[in-house]
């Protein structure tokens, strides 16, 4: 059993708390559901790298989950954009961070 990750990672004006699953801007908590938070965390685990839709599916959605994955991922990305104040719609090739913050994945410490 691994201990919860207590790190807080900053990117731009934002901060995520890996232990609580919270997103904050300037210390103010921003509502973000679990799956969108997991997508952000997965992207931050691979700074500056391309993260494929398939890699996100394997990391976040269990193999025995029967959903429209593309729709679910697009919805999660749009919720992230909304939380970050980015009104642009997702283009499939644009998923990924531009800055290189630390990772939320404890195995990458």
Q: CATH number for the domain including 45? A: 1.10.10.10
Please report whether residue 27 resides in a domain: yes
pLDDT exceeding 70 applies to what percent of the chain? 73
pLDDT digits (tens, 9 = 90+) for 60-96: 877 777 778 888 898 999 999 999 888 665 444 544 4
Structural domains of the chain, count: 1
User: What's the whole-model pTM score?
Assistant: 0.70
Q: How many CB atoms lie within 10 A of CB 103?
A: 19
Please report whether residue 51 resides in a domain: yes
Q: How many CB atoms lie within 10 A of CB 19?
A: 13
Please report whether residue 45 resides in a domain: yes
Domain of residue 35 covers 8-89
Q: What value does the mean pLDDT take over residues 35-51?
A: 88
Please report whether residue 23 resides in a domain: yes
Please report whether residue 79 resides in a domain: yes
Please report whether residue 19 resides in a domain: yes
Please report whether residue 43 resides in a domain: yes
Q: Do 26 and 13 form a contact (C-beta atoms < 8 A)?
A: yes
List strand residue ranges (DSSP E) for the chain, in order.
Answer: 8-11, 14-17, 22-25, 28-30
């Amino acid at each position: 059993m691994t201990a919860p990750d207590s790190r807080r990672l900053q990117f731009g004006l934002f901060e995520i708390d890996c232990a609580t699953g919270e997103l904050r801007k300037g210390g103010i908590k921003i509502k973000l559901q679990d799956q969108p938070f997991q997508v952000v965390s997965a992207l931050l685990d691979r700074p500056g790298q391309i993260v494929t839709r398939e890699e996100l599916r394997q990391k976040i959605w269990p193999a025995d989950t029967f959903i429209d994955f593309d729709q679910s991922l697009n919805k999660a990305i749009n919720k992230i954009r909304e939380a970050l104040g980015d009104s642009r719609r997702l283009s499939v090739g644009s998923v990924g961070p531009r800055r290189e913050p630390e990772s939320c994945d404890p195995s990458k410490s």
